[in-house]
Amino acid sequence: MGAVMSVEEIVGSLESGMTIGIGGWGSRRKPMALVRAICRSSLTDLTIVSYGGPDVGLLCAAGKVRRVAAPFVTLDSIALEPHFRAARQSGAVHFTEYDEGMFMFGLLAAAHRLPFLPTRAGLGSDVMRVNPGLRTVRSPFEDGEELVAVPALTLDAALVHLDLADTRGNGQYLGPDPYMDDLFAKAAVRCYLSCERMVEPGELAGPPQTLLVSRMHVTGVAETPNGGHFTDRGPGQPRDEAFQRHYAASAAGPEAWAEFTGRFLSGDEAAYQEAVRQWHEEERR
């Protein structure tokens, strides 16, 4: 049963060198409070498995990442993630580049404790060239078709962010898309769940099919109000586009980025939220 934990306790239980899956998609419902806490931690040498967005960018900028496994890294309303680009172009991170569907099959394989799953996605493309470890598998049936064997994307830990969760670690999403968060939870040895708001068991109202993540897969749950900021969350909590633009613009050079980190990322989560509030107040003037 998921234990209620603090953000610091969750990040304190992770180890350098781990393979960590991060839920959400692009700049949508990312566990940003947990990502910010990893940036503050002493963790290094991480492999990040993600439908990548600013989670990947921030961790690259903080020097936490050895390898990124992803089909893309984007901020959605801003096509290219500037810190991920910089890390790739300087050779600072290794990249395992997959097709989106291939990537889902890797998570599905891990969730089912299978060594691989077959798919057509990837055949004929340079995804096969840049991942020389990928293999194909031939159908044993009459068709004899050759397919990509996507290896299981088994995770040491998964970090996901849901709109609501209960104190046992059951998680609920309120927006139109669950993304792949349940698959990340099932593909991981341990899953940590953060939520915008925490309720008592039995208080997660609404259609049962929105109860996406089960406590049987959750090791720890933390309440992180506005913890998905600045990404898009459920209804009424759209992406903070102005702040995302500020984040992206601040990646332009070392001075601008030092100013951004000094102002927003040098304190704890409460300090971040307060600094964002003040920034918006200044912008309104």
Q: How many CB atoms lie within 10 A of CB 285?
A: 4
Stretch that binds other proteins, among 31-39, 121-129, 187-195, 236-244 (CB under 8 A): 121-129
Sign of CA dihedral 71, 75, 80, 81: negative
> Which 138-167 residues touch other proteins, going by CB under 8 A?
143-147
> Which 2-61 residues touch other proteins, going by CB under 8 A?
25, 51-52
Rule CB under 8 A: is residue 100 a binding residue for other proteins?
yes
Please, are residues 34 and 40 in contact by the beta-carbon 8 Å criterion? no
Sign of CA dihedral 178, 22, 100, 156: negative
Q: What phi, psi does 217 have (nearest 5°)?
A: -105, 5
SS3 240: coil
Stretch that binds other proteins, among 9-17, 92-100, 215-223, 246-254 (CB under 8 A): 92-100
**Of 30 and 36, which has the nearer Cβ to other proteins?**
30
- Contacting residue, 27, 53, 99, 229, with other proteins by CB under 8 A: 99
Beta pairing class for 3-4 and 220-223: parallel
Rule CB under 8 A: is residue 236 a binding residue for other proteins?
no
Rule CB under 8 A: is residue 120 a binding residue for other proteins?
yes
Beta pairing class for 19-22 and 46-50: parallel
In the complex, the residues that contact other proteins under the rule CB under 8 A are: 25, 51-52, 70-74, 79-80, 84-85, 88-89, 91, 97-102, 104, 119-127, 129-130, 143-147, 176-180
